[in-house]
Amino acid sequence: MTSKPRLSTYWVTCADGLESLLCEEIESLGVQNVERFPGRLVFKGTLENAYRICMWSRLASRVLLPIHTYELEHTHDARDVAEELYEGAISFDWSLVFAPQSTFAIRLHAEREIKVNTQFATLRAKDGVVDSFMEAVGRRPSIDTKQPEITLYVLAGKTEHTYCLDLSGDSLHKRGYRRFMTDAPIKENLAAAILQKAKLKQYNPDIVFDPMCGSGTFIIESLLILTDRAPGLVRRFGFNGWNGHDHELWMSIKAEAAERHQEALTQPLPQFYAFDADWEAVKATKQNIIAAGFEALLDHIQIEERTLADWPEFNAEGKKALIVTNPPYGERLGDKASNKALYLGLSALLQKNFPKQYAAVIASQIEQADVLAFNEPQTLRLMNGKLPIYIRFGEIKPATVTQPFLATWQPQQFDPIEGAEDFANRLQKNMQGFKKWAVKDNIYCLRLYDADLPDFNVAVDLYGDRLHVQEYAPPKKIDPEKAKKRFNLALAAIRAVTGLGRDAIFIKTRARQEGKTQYMKQSTASKRFIVQEGQAKILVNLTDYLDTGLFLDHRQIRLRIAKEAKGKHFLNLYSYTSTASLHAALGGAASTTSVDLSNTYLNWSKENFVLNGLTVDHADEQHQFFASDCFEWLKEGHEQYDLIFIDPPTFSNSKKFYGTFDVQRDHVSLLKRAMNRLTTDGTLYFSNNYRGFEMDEEIEATFDVQEISNETVGPDFKRNQKIHRAWKITHFPV
């Protein structure tokens, strides 16, 4: 008659938030009646149950066998926890658990309410174990904190201290394949949990894609799952030196696991794609895949250095794809705003390339996850070490094809607005006149009206499907009440003619700005939106500052730069939000360099780049941003550029810059320095908005100068020919 296997109590620990998924997993391994606690599951089971969890659990951190509980007779505020741990350790005969020739280490964990010096308390617990051996067998085991044969896990509690044998030895998330690391990698067991939550095996995808693969953890964990490879198959465990270890039982479980893996390798696998903008990450991914034992499967894995803006054409139609990724949500970008832009850009790309496919994306802030365009999204909160992370799961919404607002706009029917009839007629006439051009050239952002009538001194700009209305402050001789009434009439007419509601119209007053007031915030509402211009998606702020982040009158020169930039090194001085640099980058520039004195604008610039899938890593030399005075920056460097754009302010006196800048007075010096940095066959575009500007004869005598103002002023600014002037400047042929 065969005796029943002995039952013992086991603890299985995990990261906070994983308890439910881990419970499902260990129940699938034959464990029953599981109790859940924060970060820990407890069950009564056999040694075989514990061994199977060690071998097969993809989510657990440790498998612990409680050996000894030391109950405290009384507790008080002045208690000496370290001495309690010593007394508890020496009160048990540890020679029953392991031999004195074995090395061991103590891992101490204290409940939250326990105040203790962890380092000293660990030392005292170790002393108790050693003294117990001396009393029992007259010999003491040695300490090895790096690779001990036995690990004792000690939980210091309020009413008792529990001493456990750590069957896993080291944390189970360490599978042994991660030889090469990148910044802030996700732990292997968390990656596996995300894939389990995404139902990788049941979903049975044709494509598994990680566009920001880091060190390749998601790809490798997917391979482990889909080839039925037990995560514990090739790693060391903490039970080998244990007196109760059943070697024969363990070897049978190991043999079964090896057989299952070999059988699964005969089944078809999906195509894997692992991209990263960092070449070091691409190398790490390949090396870790080889270290994991999957070198023979490299034909199934396309590992490439690619930015988000550089995805190939995916043909996912008729196929099932799973996209799972851990974006660099803080390490490279540094602030929440840039990170949000990254998620907006990623979401747009997923919508375009993988509509109706399934995705799981990690975020460090819930606001980042919220911008992902998923149907029926689900969120899982986990702890990656000490950092909380949010994983957003869902089906990717198809991209909506947006047309320019004027493409679908039709003249509205409305009752005449007494006192604003002429204004309404002019605005409607302008919109009808621009419609054909906007549709033909795919223009989303343009000026609809610019003080065309003297009684209605406003500018009306269209940004996508929103309006930015600027009231030019009336002269002091105009009665304020009369001016206010007239402006309100204009707003009523604007709503009637465009058909847009109040929530789509943003209002500002544009008075003559002096000194610091020209840079001061008008609001703190931060209504930021994405608009389209050519290939570029651009963030505009319609509330906080007078300027929105996109100078509409320079649209034509930006589009010109996009066409000319391919393969060239581009320099943008006084770059503002670097929209010209963005167009150059998307047009295939070999590199872009943007220089501006304002960190606010440069951070905005980086958001624009990230939004379009371009990297702004500090180590990345392709797209660089410098917070510097342009004169000083030009003087200090020697790099040459094929294409340069300079659009300086008319006047500037920043506290970061000693002295003032006046475009009429200083343009000769500025252009000479810039031309020193232009290649012999390069092109420099120079523009400014100073109405009285005259190009100095010295520049015209020294360089080949052509005024191109008419070519750079779009149809929406033709009625204001002095909005800006622009020149194309090159070196004379040698």
CA angle, 301 then 307 then 313, to 5°? 60
**pLDDT for 52 beyond 70:** yes
594-649: per-residue pLDDT in tens?
999 999 999 999 999 999 999 886 566 899 999 999 999 999 989 999 999 999 99
**Alpha carbons 232 and 54: distance in angstroms, whole number:** 6
Taking residues 230-243, report their average pLDDT: 92
| Whether the Cβ atoms of residue 490 and residue 420 lie closer than 8 Å to each other | yes
pLDDT in tens, 572-600: 999 999 999 999 999 999 999 999 999 99
State the CB neighbour count (10 A cutoff) for residue 80: 12
Token pair listed for 389: 């992370």
Each residue of 254-274: pLDDT tens digit?
999 999 999 999 999 999 999
Check residue 511 and give its pLDDT: 57
pLDDT at 652 over 90: no
pLDDT higher than threshold 90 for residue 206: yes
Of the candidates 213, 199, 190, 202, the one whose C-alpha atom is nearest the C-alpha of residue 393 is 199
Residue 276 structure tokens: 């990263």
Cα angle 530, 534, 540 (rounded to 5 degrees) comes to: 25
**Residues 714-728, mean pLDDT to the nearest whole number:** 91
Angle at 34 between CA 200 and CA 170, to 5 degrees: 70
- Give first-to-last CA distance, the chain, whole Å: 103
Distances from the Cα of 295 to the Cαs of 290, 291, 489, 655, 682, in angstroms? 5, 8, 72, 58, 47
CB atoms within 10 A of CB 165: 26
Average pLDDT over residues 387-408: 93
Residue 618, Cβ density class (10 Å: 0-12 exposed, 13-18 middle, ≥19 buried):
exposed
Report CA-CA distances (Å) from 240 to 8, 165, 245, 255. 18, 11, 6, 17
pLDDT at 3: 55
Which residue stretches of 527-646 are H helix?
555-564, 579-586, 599-611, 630-636
d(Cα 329, Cα 365) in Å, to the nearest integer? Answer: 9
What is the SS3 assignment for 480?
helix
Considering the chain, what percentage of its residues have pLDDT values greater than 90?
79
Indicate if the pLDDT at residue 657 is higher than 60: no
Q: β-pairing, 678-688 with 641-646?
A: parallel
Residue-wise pLDDT tens digits, 285-319: 999 999 999 999 998 899 999 999 899 988 888 89
Per-residue pLDDT at 330: 52
Look at 194-198, 654-658, 693-697 and tell me which has the smallest mean pLDDT.
Answer: 654-658
The contacts of residue 549 (CB under 8 Å, 6+ apart) are 538, 539, 540, 541, 576, 577, 579, 604
Give yes or no for residue 334 having a pLDDT over 50. no
CA distances from 533 to 83, 156, 280, 563 (A): 70, 61, 33, 13
HSE-up of residue 529 (Cα within 13 Å, Cβ side): 19
Evaluate if residue 708 carries a pLDDT over 90.
Answer: yes
What does the pLDDT average to over 188-193?
96
- Per-residue pLDDT tens over the stretch 213-223: 999 999 999 99
Task: Output the pLDDT for position 490.
Answer: 95
At 85-140, the pLDDT tens digits run 999 999 999 999 999 999 999 999 998 888 889 999 999 999 999 999 999 999 99
Structure tokens at 438: 């906007």
Q: Residue 539's Cα: distance from chain center in Å? A: 16
Q: List, for residues 450-479, the tens digit of each pLDDT value.
A: 999 988 999 999 999 999 999 887 777 777
Asked which of 295-309, 392-406, 648-662, 696-710 is least confident by mean pLDDT, the reply is 648-662
Span 70-79, mean pLDDT?
75
Question: What's the confidence (pLDDT) of residue 654?
Answer: 60
pLDDT value at residue 525 = 46
- Whether the pLDDT of residue 339 is over 80: the answer is no
Per-residue burial over 328-361, b if 16 or more Cβ lie within 10 Å, else e, is bbbebbeeebbbbbbbbbbbbbbbebbeebbbbb
pLDDT over 70, % of the chain: 94
pLDDT at 331: 46
The pLDDT score that the predictor gives to residue 264 is 96
Q: Which helix (H) or strand (E) holds 54?
A: helix 47-56
pLDDT at 402: 86
Q: What is the pLDDT of residue 369?
A: 94
| Choice among 32-41, 657-666, 684-693 with the minimum mean pLDDT | 657-666
Tell me the pLDDT of the chain averaged across its residues.
91
C-alpha 709/C-alpha 721 separation (Å) is 9
Domains of the chain and CATH, by start: 8-166 (3.30.2130.30), 188-227+269-396 (3.40.50.150), 402-547 (3.30.750.80), 551-734 (3.40.50.150)
* Strands 40-45 vs 8-13: parallel, antiparallel or unpaired: antiparallel
